[in-house]
Structure 1
Amino acid sequence: MKIFVLIFTFSFALISAQTHRFIYEFKYKQNPKQTEFQKVNMTLDVNPENVKFYNYRYVEIDSTNITKGQNSQLWDNSTNVIVRSKNSNTNSNYTMINDVFVFDTEDKIDWNLDKETKKFENYTLQKATSNFGGRKWTAWFSKEINISEGPYKFRGLPGLIFQIYDDQNNFDFTLVKSFKLNSTYKTPFIESFYGQKPIKTTQENINKMLMNEYNDPYHETREQFKKNPKTTFSINGTDIKDISQFKELTESRRKFIRENNNPIEIDKALKYPQN
């Protein structure tokens, strides 16, 4: 396990308005048949009242917005955005399907503590395992960091999770950096995406929207083309010159969606039709 910079200088008497920020390297496979991981840094902010998990790229863009007076925002649906109250297993899940939506899930994880330990620098990490989301997970945590949190929805161990990975080698979160912020970090890019608050919904409604998107991924573009057949439309680098092209493009998009249907919680994955 590679952990590059860890600075744990916690003073628990002085954390009332602080954010404890943990950066995890997230390695994942959108397509389980891939041999190579995609990699991105993810942020775990442990605040006085809540915990937030999101792509670190959002922090970088937010910092640029502040220093340059801009209002650029990014949403990457290949990574998760999770918010929960402190010491809670109720997670608010944020996702974008044209608009940003949020829905709640109950995600209590039952851990099995193992006696196996290993050293990392000055920390002793203990092994724990769990079945969650249809996958088997191995976590390494430290009781020396008295924060019962970890990346994504993984929490509830008697210490901070340093690393967690699944037994099929699809996902791996590894802690690479930690520091404290002097005040609670605000995340307008979550609560107000381009001035619009997330729309409250349910997992069932999200699944319906995703299935509609799968069944007819280019509905809006096709309807616009019908109204304006002389206008140039382009999809993934293909110029549309005839309505018949939408059939092949739709089949290609559906195939891509099926092959990349590999969420962390595989038991919640949509079962897309094969044709």
Structure 2
Amino acid sequence: MQWRGRRSSRNIERRGRSGGGRAVGGIGGIGAILVLLIGWYFGVDVSPLLNGGGQGGSQQIDTSAIDADDPEMEQFVAAVLGLTEDVWAQTFDQQVGQPYQPPVLVLFDGITQSACGTADAATGPFYCPAEDRIFLDTAFFRTLAQRLGAGGDFAQAYVIAHEVAHHVQNELGILGQVNRLRAQVSQADSNALSVRTELQADCYAGIWARGAQAAFGVLERGDLQEAMNAAAAIGDDTLQGNAGGVVRPDSFTHGTSAQRQRWLARGFDSGLLTDCDTFSAPQL
């Protein structure tokens, strides 16, 4: 990805370490390490494993090799966020007819507070609609590459673009409608709505990638495949399988690997917000 020399967003908020627990209520948190997926999908508290306090000599997992103190990583995040601002401003002007108000991205080291709760390495990147902020501990990028097998700078850009896409949903009023509906239905139906929300965010990320290439020519050979690899790596079926458990479609909240790739590709091929209406799609 040709990101060096690009305009850097000023909507970056750097934070150091602070105390806290775990983020709740955010949109799009993927989970930073595979051991967390066991807890996420099967209702098991795995925080002792992450803190090194579990039984049987459990080992604390190091995700600190890449952190927010890495100047080049901070420059990369600011450049990608700047590209999202430019592309979505143009897209809103052409397809929505209203100004785009960009989010703030909080780049933090280890742990920080949000209006959706406390963010740490265990939560993964997420968007908090209560304050229009994205929270990112860049240690997740190491997890993405080394534990989930999806390396590359455009895989990282896809992660940022996906979280920005949740902000786009919020700007369009979609998140509010979905959250009100989810509060009125069963858990299974709520999960199904979550899947459609996440797949739409993948489609919007594809729109961004198309726009960034069309306007600025940032893509290099293999970049789109890196994003597709990342989408596949964080599919619900793949994550559950890698966690060693039974794949349970009724518990899916983000969509299968194939679905995530398909909607990412759809957004990239189309570039139209109307083609990302996952809520009306008879098949995902």
TM-score, normalising length: structure 2: 0.25
TM-score, normalising length: structure 1: 0.25
Greater strand share, structure number: 1
